[in-house]
Amino acid sequence: MDTLNDLRIQWLERLFNRVKKYCKSGTIKDKNKVCNQIESKIKELKYSYVDESGALEYINWILDNLKELRDAPIGSEEAKHWLDYTISELEDFPRKLKIPVSEPFQVFRYRFVEIVSVSKHPTLNNLRITKVRDAEGKEYTVITNITDVKEGQKAAVVFLPPREFGGVWSEAMFVALNVEKPEDIEVEKLKELNQYFFAV
């Protein structure tokens, strides 16, 4: 496995670099220096060229240690959201390892959902707060500027790094409305997501 150039490992490294900044600034009170240990382990993984099962051993170690940071005092909502997002991405790693990843957008998690509510943002006039529910019954908040979102619509959402809009945190972004399966989404639409990989 070309761990040095693997997009999935590059994504993990990008996300962890943000978490590391919160540790270094003291926003996450990392008393046990967990961030330093994780940073070393990610570097080790990056240059290891292990096979998929070896990569998973690294990922599970990193995940267990990242979860330890959840118990540390965290000084901002932003840091908490980024830590939670990074943990969710690591929990999704076994799925990512089973698919060929040649485009950055393929590292993102996605779900097919139903829109359960739509409301105007309290302070930002051009945005709407939508609540969506996946097939497992889990609900997520999606802030959007799409004007034709409606309760009851089926949609695809992609889980991008958390973003705050006027005091409300968005957990995902709509990729397409009125879709129910992967074949319904144009590949070109998915390729537009590549920019978010490089923006982190």
Asked if residue 114 and residue 98 are part of one domain, the reply reads no
Q: What percent of the chain has pLDDT over 90?
A: 92
d(CA 10, CA 96): 13
What count of residues does the chain have?
200
Query: Backbone phi, then psi, for 176, in 5-degree steps?
Result: -160, 145
DSSP β-ladder status, 154-159 and 109-120: antiparallel
Asked if residue 155 and residue 125 are part of one domain, the reply reads yes
Domain region containing 186: 105-199
Q: What is the CATH number of the domain that holds 170?
A: 2.40.50.140
pLDDT at 136 over 90: yes
Of 102, 135, 155, the residue that ends a domain is 102
Residues 6+ apart with CB under 8 A from 181: 112
Q: Domains in the chain: how many in total?
A: 2
Asked if residue 148 and residue 90 are part of one domain, the reply reads no
Which of the four pLDDT bands, split at 50, 70 and 90, describes residue 33? Answer: very high
Average pLDDT, integer, range 137-148: 95
d(CA 46, CA 48): 6
Asked if residue 175 and residue 194 are part of one domain, the reply reads yes
pLDDT at 186 over 90: no
Predicted confidence (pLDDT) per residue in 102-113, tens digit = 999 999 999 999
Q: What is the reported pTM?
A: 0.93
Per-residue model confidence (pLDDT) at position 75 = 95
Of 62, 80, 102, the residue that ends a domain is 102
Q: What percent of the chain has pLDDT over 70?
A: 100
Which of the four pLDDT bands, split at 50, 70 and 90, describes residue 76? Answer: very high
Asked if residue 27 and residue 85 are part of one domain, the reply reads yes
Asked if residue 126 and residue 82 are part of one domain, the reply reads no
Predicted confidence (pLDDT) per residue in 77-101, tens digit = 999 999 999 999 999 999 999 998 9
55: which 2 tokens? 């990569």
Which of the four pLDDT bands, split at 50, 70 and 90, describes residue 184? Answer: confident
Asked if residue 155 and residue 124 are part of one domain, the reply reads yes
Whether 50 and 2 have beta carbons less than 8 Å apart is answered as no
Per-residue model confidence (pLDDT) at position 68 = 94
Asked if residue 40 and residue 96 are part of one domain, the reply reads yes
Average pLDDT, integer, range 146-164: 94
pLDDT at 187 over 90: no
Residue 2 lies in a domain: no
Average pLDDT, integer, range 139-166: 95
Residue 35 lies in a domain: yes
Per-residue model confidence (pLDDT) at position 183 = 85
Asked if residue 98 and residue 112 are part of one domain, the reply reads no
Query: Backbone phi, then psi, for 177, in 5-degree steps?
Result: -100, 160
Average pLDDT, integer, range 35-55: 96
Residue 161 lies in a domain: yes
